[in-house]
Amino acid sequence: MYQMTEAELKFAEIIWKGEPIRSGELVKLCEKEFDWKKSTTYTFLKKLCEQEICKNENSVVTSLVKKEEYLQIQGEQFVVKAFGGSLPKMVAAFMERKKLSDAQISEIQQMIEDYKEKNT
């Protein structure tokens, strides 16, 4: 899946937050939020439509990829690229630099237990 730039991600956040959103309203929001001209907004919109992240039909913009799905895919791609697909290696690298609180440890343990129950 296409990896958005930081600016594209901020733009997508506006779409995710307000969808369905009329393209004219999106232009106004981007002018207010980013000080963009109308042409800049439509350039960004065209790029995300070409990447099938969103669509613009009858001047109404909606996402084809939801925020959670996009972030999950990007997280998975990061683990593959940086840690050879090994989630334990990623967690180990994280824990070497940052101490986990008891609450975080409990939360992770609960996530693992929930995962086991769903997949057995």
Task: Give residue 89's pLDDT band: very low, low, confident or very high (50, 70, 90).
Answer: very high
pLDDT reported for residue 34? 97
Peptide bond into 20 cis (omega under 30): yes
Backbone angles phi, psi at 53, to 5 degrees: -90, -30
Task: Give residue 98's pLDDT band: very low, low, confident or very high (50, 70, 90).
Answer: confident
DSSP 63-88: ESS-HHHHHHHHHHHHHHHHHTT-HH
Global pTM reads: 0.79
pLDDT reported for residue 82? 94
Question: Residue range 48-67: average pLDDT?
Answer: 97
Report the C-alpha gap between 111 and 52 in whole angstroms: 31
